[in-house]
Amino acid sequence: MAGELFGPIFVPDPVREAVSDRAWLQAMLDFEAALAVAEARARVIPLQAAEAIGAACRADRFDAGRIARKGRGSGNPAAPLASALRAALPDEAARWVHWGATSQDVLDTAAMLVARRALDLVLADLDGVATACARLADAHRATPMAGRTLLQQAVPTTFGLKAAGWLVAVSEATDRLRAIQRERLAVELGGAAGTLSALGDQGPHVLALLAEELGLAEPVVPWHTARGRVAELGAELALTAGVLAKIALDVVLLAQTEVGEVAEAAGGGSSAMPHKRNPVAATLVRACAPQVQAQAGVLVAAMAQEHERAAGAWHSEWEALSRALELTGGAGARAREMVEGLRIDPERMRANLDATGGLLMAEHVMVVLTEKVGGPEASRLVEAAASRARDEGLSLGDALATDPGVELSDDEIRRALDPESYLGAADAFVQRALDLVGWRP
Amino acid sequence: MAGELFGPIFVPDPVREAVSDRAWLQAMLDFEAALAVAEARARVIPLQAAEAIGAACRADRFDAGRIARKGRGSGNPAAPLASALRAALPDEAARWVHWGATSQDVLDTAAMLVARRALDLVLADLDGVATACARLADAHRATPMAGRTLLQQAVPTTFGLKAAGWLVAVSEATDRLRAIQRERLAVELGGAAGTLSALGDQGPHVLALLAEELGLAEPVVPWHTARGRVAELGAELALTAGVLAKIALDVVLLAQTEVGEVAEAAGGGSSAMPHKRNPVAATLVRACAPQVQAQAGVLVAAMAQEHERAAGAWHSEWEALSRALELTGGAGARAREMVEGLRIDPERMRANLDATGGLLMAEHVMVVLTEKVGGPEASRLVEAAASRARDEGLSLGDALATDPGVELSDDEIRRALDPESYLGAADAFVQRALDLVGWRP
Amino acid sequence: MAGELFGPIFVPDPVREAVSDRAWLQAMLDFEAALAVAEARARVIPLQAAEAIGAACRADRFDAGRIARKGRGSGNPAAPLASALRAALPDEAARWVHWGATSQDVLDTAAMLVARRALDLVLADLDGVATACARLADAHRATPMAGRTLLQQAVPTTFGLKAAGWLVAVSEATDRLRAIQRERLAVELGGAAGTLSALGDQGPHVLALLAEELGLAEPVVPWHTARGRVAELGAELALTAGVLAKIALDVVLLAQTEVGEVAEAAGGGSSAMPHKRNPVAATLVRACAPQVQAQAGVLVAAMAQEHERAAGAWHSEWEALSRALELTGGAGARAREMVEGLRIDPERMRANLDATGGLLMAEHVMVVLTEKVGGPEASRLVEAAASRARDEGLSLGDALATDPGVELSDDEIRRALDPESYLGAADAFVQRALDLVGWRP
Amino acid sequence: MAGELFGPIFVPDPVREAVSDRAWLQAMLDFEAALAVAEARARVIPLQAAEAIGAACRADRFDAGRIARKGRGSGNPAAPLASALRAALPDEAARWVHWGATSQDVLDTAAMLVARRALDLVLADLDGVATACARLADAHRATPMAGRTLLQQAVPTTFGLKAAGWLVAVSEATDRLRAIQRERLAVELGGAAGTLSALGDQGPHVLALLAEELGLAEPVVPWHTARGRVAELGAELALTAGVLAKIALDVVLLAQTEVGEVAEAAGGGSSAMPHKRNPVAATLVRACAPQVQAQAGVLVAAMAQEHERAAGAWHSEWEALSRALELTGGAGARAREMVEGLRIDPERMRANLDATGGLLMAEHVMVVLTEKVGGPEASRLVEAAASRARDEGLSLGDALATDPGVELSDDEIRRALDPESYLGAADAFVQRALDLVGWRP
């Protein structure tokens, strides 16, 4: 993010730290250190050199700004970092720094390490969101509210089912993101053009050892210009942000002054507008999502990379990936805060259900009447009653009760107009969602 | 695509047909037919009605344009299609058409059916691309060529390794797309607001039967505004297009007049420009990819859908999904044609390898010299020789041979400058890629 | 659009026709005819040839599908169209068809002609939107409603000012789009590589005459790979769609069941849900906008075109441009329908203003009290009253009246709580907006 | 950008500073100071208060991080900045800070100020690019090179015409960007919901004075949710980046080892790859462009803002705008460096022109022969000669000279095959481009 003025509003500090200069520097140094160990294990370089290199690979010993300025000529910070690392070591170790590797190996592997660590934080918040959704779904499985299509009240549903829908979406996104973290974050080691020629016949062996050292997947072949791993990560972050944006959109809409069915715990107004309960967390989730998706678009478009190293598309990834991770982290943290603190107002939900004077239950009345008089006649009767209700300012119940053609008792009418009588599979669906995540209250 | 004037240039006819009006209409009717069967099996509607409905559900009986024009008022073609279907049936069957379902159920399930059928075609072409890549990788595992970074010759690689990189990328994308097709294409059935209330307590049962009838996955809960399934499909199509765009980019670059290492089989010039061998298939792949990715962007952004049915975002999916499927199909078909027919010119690759007078092998000379005189001195000697070579118009070999400080025999110099001596793990990586896909020549 | 099943729902027939195969074919033929005339005027080709060519250039004589299929080899339909045109002419005229031009000249100039004609339709609807907004702004300059920030009621505004905001935005977008149409739609004529070499020294002269014939701007140099003109058009369409999307978003929100301040004229429910007044036009505007913006993204990204003709980026423009024009046309037409038919409910606006029991006027009370007791004390008093109002279920007026610390008469309180007393410059701003467009009722 | 590790590689320090925390803070404070002055001039607040406020509005007195952390609750940093400013002032001035304004007024106006200052830097570099292009166009108006379509040599052109194409594109983009800077950067002042109600009847007057104080345009109505100004700026930045990306793409392609027609002044290899002349500046331009375009996409999509202040879309603009400005600045600076230092190799251009053995001139031979034997026969002869040339390894000249059917003298053949004889309007177009910008060498 832009820095200190906007960043902390959207993104928690630990996430910001996870994609910071320092985190990238340390990840690049972790690559250099692990490469040396792997090469020492493969007897490509001396063990002492590897130990010395490992000891020197601490980010706080290096100056990111100085390295970047030296990196302007080569177009990336990996070469000047290797130089700075060599300069910090005795000759006998220095000569083995970065052995057989190329700048892209450093940066690509560092990107994977940065992503892995950032994803830990993101996933923790997503788990928090899922848990809070499960709690809401369970608690409100019998809380009726208006189901709304095209933002118009349609038929009743429950708040529990709404939260169950959020839950399933978050759970699926989290599963996919976790699979990416587990399976697709891989070490990159290819040397100048992907052949690892400087390592002679030890290339694949060193590659395997390096993957082991760093706990990353071992790729089948170097992926210097096969950017699926980066783009898939971007795409999953975009999908995750999309899931959170949907929840935030529902919250913002439910929190409207005229709807008032939910409120954020922390929502508050100013003294000048004491009635406002701004859905700030939801607002910030909604601000993060399109930015994540735009960054993912950069990563996906960047898949068209030339030959053995791209002239530009690769360089566009670093910022895009950092921002996508960071803003997904922001969206996740703010969504968690939003859902965990969400205040539900079942009375307001009930009041809103009644706002149309029962018209919301017209479909149910029609179902009930269809059993008695068949579909066409039922349809005609309901339309007539609804029309009278609107024209004469009656409730639908009164209109039905005073229509001699409607052969329903008062009790039948009352039951037909009761939202709780027309919730269908809402409760069953809630249970299926809770079962999916193994929810135990 | 725009229609007949541009469409056939990019997209094969079967793919165009798979996302056509007719295909969508039939998919919508398949939903209505299967719903009737499922409901009959669940004893919600009479069996005879289901049979009559099923018999009527043939796309060629309906007029897409007429339905669309009637759909302007409701904003989608599902309601007028149900009306037209009812009108084609006797009353006793007509009344059970679309029973308990909503327009979104029809269109969402239809989208999944359209996607499944289109993916069959897309995946067949992707398999063709993979097979052709595997054949190239195997055939050219020992064909040296220049590895290029930032479009500059760097060190040697092989064409086999380049093709192996394409192969792994296509294979991974295909696996992911196939997983989507298998696991994430699901039936949608929720009724007016996701509760299936018009089906009483039979909702989940009907849902399960409907999934069985259509061979689609059964979702945990209705996904009317949880659009992960659609957006994930879009994202995977975008990733697939990105993989193909990378291959096409390499082909376009290798086919340049000044490079001339590959040519498309069908590439041809006009009589006015008889020397041109336009890489037309690669060009069209590159034209499709950003369009697929843009449509995927629409689908991912559309995840923020309001409440129980969105007022706009949902409606933006139909065209975006059709175009994303179609243009991925175009990219796949054209990529297959491109790779299957690709003509490789190993002699030109060799000639280009020699274009820098051996400078391309400088890294290898440095490795060889380092073993004799250590890194710093090796570096100094190579730089001096390279510098003389450039200044005096010598080959690097001559510059090394005439430098008294370089203690290498002519034979050692010759071997150090031989690209085939410096291919590292290229062959091993090719084998790993072929093993991944179980390639048998 | 996908064809007949979805297209007519979003886009009016004339707009669909304006970007149809037939329209593109005719535009390509218009280029060929005008080129022949220009070259005859410059005495490059015989006048009779030009006349014969002109007479043959009628789209209904050519088969788009056949041309496209022949265009698969060259990657575009211009060469096969020229062949078909030659085949329709006697040899003496045929040999001068397409003289000195290249395929890109045909398609780029045709794109400009298609755009010009489509923009006429788009702009007519935008003018209609602006006029309807002006009418609403004028009629409702004194209709108070809640101003809402973060979807929370904040302070009062007027519906007139809201409509004035729409008006200014539409007016500005229309001006920009009209400027593009007037100044940036230019003829393209460069020949094989932009030098017009086949025209000898007559190139610039023919270029000027061609521009004159077609009524398009004459570019300084051929723009075959300087794609600003296409991308700017795309960008302006995206901005226009964005303006319309904002209006549609406001309408959808105001039309919510719980808000009910506006309704679309044509909004209607089904018999099963008689209470619904679906904002369908607004919904479709919102569906078009992100699609237009995605296509614009394709056009802007396609600016990076290689050398004298791009291998892919150019080919991605045709579909993207057609869709962007068409969907902007759809958004414009639906927005016009939406605004022209919009039903305003001032009573509901007033009722919603009162929904917070006067809390909406707290800022005004604070302004009034500040004049009496200074800011800090005013702030303290209002907070206390608001707090009591919420806790004890009072209106703000009652809370103020019963707070001994608040030294305001009942009349002063009543005036302080009157929304109409706190509309600031709303009316003045409405007038400025009306003056901008020269509105006369 | 991500910070110190990547930022300086892409973006010059002054541009980074222009969109930094400090720059935003100062711009926000400039708003507060100018608002106070405007209100004092309108006699809304005391002059002494305005003077005290103005004196306190210095960014270095405030802590961005602390303000941001306090801004988490309200979702933006404007309210805590106003609080911090009040805290730094005596009560009599403090109470007039931010009088009648809302947070969005502060941030929107600040965004305009930040943009104006950043655009000064961007435009200076774009002017540098244009000047360097003009110099190249003029110097190389007679330097023949291969024109390339689909990356295949087509017919000759000149490097001067290529540079002229770049020049016109940059010049047009610069004009548009400058128009945005001059006309569309406007003050925002609307108060809580756009009515300026807290300013009584002085709202429009204060607005005009504020615009005067800040040197920004005065809008017709407040534009809090009419985001054309921000989105247009984003769109123009995207278009500018697209123009630069095209130039950089050409440079990267011309600098390829196998083409070698241009080189960047600063391009250099490592000691291990002494032959490489990496086009680093072009690479970085190409990396910036898609990121700028993605941010512009965020801004355009963000135009759909709810009512009188958006719940999310507005908040997504700050980062997107800063990054778009910054990365356009990076692209501009790097493009300037690239073009100003570009080394042209006319000999290599000539050698590449000859690479096809004269086939590149086949179109010209056909033109020459057409005058003698008519088009069909000319076409047949050229195809036959070209075919023999390829099959027998002849040059086209030798194939023509030894074909008895070709009635051209050796001298006529030589001239027909001379690239300089077939440059058409290249020179004239160069002159038109130079005239456009008033170039004087």
What's the rounded Cα separation, in Å, for the pair C31 and C38? 10
Residues in chain A where the model's pLDDT stays below 50: none
Q: Do C287 and B72 touch (CB under 8 A)?
A: no
Residue B142 DSSP class? T
Q: Do B72 and C9 touch (CB under 8 A)?
A: yes
A359 contacts in chain C (CB < 8 Å)? 273-275
Tell me the CB-side half-sphere exposure of residue D91, using CA atoms within 13 A: 4
The model's pTM: 0.98
Does A309 participate in catalysis according to the annotation?
yes
pLDDT tens, residue order, chain D (441 aa): 558 999 999 999 999 999 999 999 999 999 999 999 999 999 999 999 999 999 999 999 999 989 988 988 899 999 999 999 999 999 999 999 999 999 999 999 999 999 999 999 999 999 999 999 999 999 999 999 999 999 999 999 999 999 999 999 999 999 999 999 999 999 999 999 999 999 999 999 999 999 999 999 999 999 999 999 999 999 999 999 999 999 999 999 999 999 999 999 976 556 667 777 899 999 999 999 999 999 999 999 999 999 999 999 999 999 999 999 999 999 999 999 999 999 999 999 999 999 999 999 998 998 899 888 888 889 899 999 998 998 898 999 999 999 999 999 999 999 999 999 999 999 999 999 999 999 988
* Percent of chain D at pLDDT exceeding 90: 88
What was the pLDDT predicted at A3?
Answer: 84
Query: In terms of C-beta distances under 8 Å and separation of at least 24 residues, what long-range contacts does A82-90 make, across chains too?
Result: A82/A32, A82/A106, A85/A29, A85/A32, A85/A53, A85/A56, A85/A57, A88/A56, A88/A61, A89/A52, A89/A53, A89/A56, A90/A52
User: What is the C-alpha separation between D308 and D226, in angstroms, rounded?
Assistant: 9
Question: Residue D294: which of A69, A287, A297 has the nearest Cβ?
Answer: A297
Tally the C-alpha atoms within 13 A of residue D230's C-alpha that lie toward its C-beta.
35
Helical packing angle, B228-254 and B280-301, nearest 10°: 160
Integer-rounded Cα Rg, in Å, for chain D is 29
With a pLDDT cut of 90, the percent of chain B lying above it is: 88
- Name the active-site residue from A117, A141, A286, A309: A309
- The bridge status of strand C152-158 relative to strand C144-149 is antiparallel
* Contact between C318 and B6 using a beta-carbon 8 Å cutoff: yes
Active-site residue identified among B16, B309, B334, B336 = B309
pLDDT digits (tens, 9 = 90+) for D225-282: 999 999 999 999 999 999 999 999 999 999 999 999 999 997 655 666 777 789 999 9
Task: Give SS3 for C407.
Answer: coil
User: Which of D149, D150, D276 lies at the smallest CB-CB distance from B152?
Assistant: D276
**Phi, psi (5° rounding) for residue A351?**
-60, -45
Least confident of A69-78, B11-20, C160-169, C300-309: A69-78
Rg value, chain C, Cα: 29
Q: In chain B, which residue's Cα lies nearest the Cα of D369?
A: B272
Say how many C-beta atoms besides its own lie within 10 A of residue C441's C-beta: 7
Predicted local confidence at residue C270, as pLDDT: 62
List the structure tokens of C189: 């004529």
- Tell me the pLDDT band of C277, cut-offs 50, 70 and 90: confident
Question: How many angstroms separate the CA atoms of D324 and D19, rounded?
Answer: 10
Radius of gyration of chain B measured on its C-alpha atoms: 29
Gap between the Cα atoms of C234 and C297, Å rounded: 8
- Find the range with the poorest average confidence among B220-224, C236-240, C355-359, D433-437: C355-359
Q: Which of C41, C135, C141, C309 is catalytic?
A: C309
pLDDT-flagged residues of chain B (< 70): 1-2, 267-272
Q: Which of left, alpha, beta for B267 (phi over 0: left; psi -120 to 50: alpha)? A: beta
Predicted confidence (pLDDT) at residue C189 exceeds the cutoff of 70: yes
- Per-residue pLDDT at A266: 78
What residues of D are in the B interface, CB distance below 8 Å?
146, 148-155, 252-253, 255-259, 269, 271-280, 283, 297, 301, 352, 355-356, 359-360, 362-363, 366, 379, 382-383, 386-387, 390
Alpha-carbon distance values, A279 to A162, A285, B339, D174, D190 (Å): 18, 10, 54, 41, 22
Residue A396 to residue A413: CA distance in whole angstroms: 9
Strand pairing partners for A145?
A157
Instruction: Indicate left, alpha or beta for C251 from its phi (over 0: left) and psi (-120 to 50: alpha).
Output: alpha
Q: Which residues of D touch C439 (CB under 8 A)?
A: none
Residue of C4, C20, C284 with shortest CB distance to B21: C4
The sign of the torsion formed by the CA atoms of C354, C355, C359, C360 equals negative
User: Would the ipTM clear 0.95, i.e. be above it?
Assistant: yes
- Which chains have 3 or more CB–CB distances shorter than 8 Å to chain C? A, B, D
C-beta of residue A428 within 8 angstroms of C-beta of residue B204: yes
Which chain B residues are within 8 Å of D362, Cβ to Cβ?
Answer: 271-275
CA distance B74 to C162: 27
Residue C268 in this model has a pLDDT that exceeds 80: no
Residue C1 — very low, low, confident or very high, per pLDDT cuts 50/70/90? low
Contact D135, D441 (CB under 8 A): yes
The yes-or-no answer on residue B270 being catalytic is yes
Task: Using CB atoms, list chains with 3+ pairs below 8 Å to chain A.
Answer: B, C, D
Distance from CA of A183 to the nearest CA of B (A): 12
- Look at D362 and B154 and tell me if their CB atoms are within 8 Å: no
Query: DSSP character for B184?
Result: I
Three-state SS letters, chain A: CCCCCCHHHHCCHHHHHHCCHHHHHHHHHHHHHHHHHHHHHCCCCCHHHHHHHHHHCCHHHCCHHHHHHHHCCCCCCHHHHHHHHHHCCCHHHHCCCCCCCCHHHHHHHHHHHHHHHHHHHHHHHHHHHHHHHHHHHHHCCCCEEEEEECCEEEEEEEHHHHHHHHHHHHHHHHHHHHHHHHHHCECCCCHHHCCCHHHHHHHHHHHHHHHHHHCCECCCCCCCCCCHHHHHHHHHHHHHHHHHHHHHHHHHHHCCCCCCCEECCCCCCCCCCCCCCCCHHHHHHHHHHHHHHHHHHHHHHCCCCCCCECCCCCCCHHHHHHHHHHHHHHHHHHHHHHHHCCEECHHHHHHHHCCCCCHHHHHHHHHHHHHHHCHHHHHHHHHHHHHHHHHHCCCHHHHHHCCCCCCCCHHHHHHHCCHHHHCCCHHHHHHHHHHHCCCCC
Nearest to B419 by CA among B369, B380, B363, B379: B363
User: From the CA of D328, how many Å to the nearest CA of chain A?
Assistant: 13
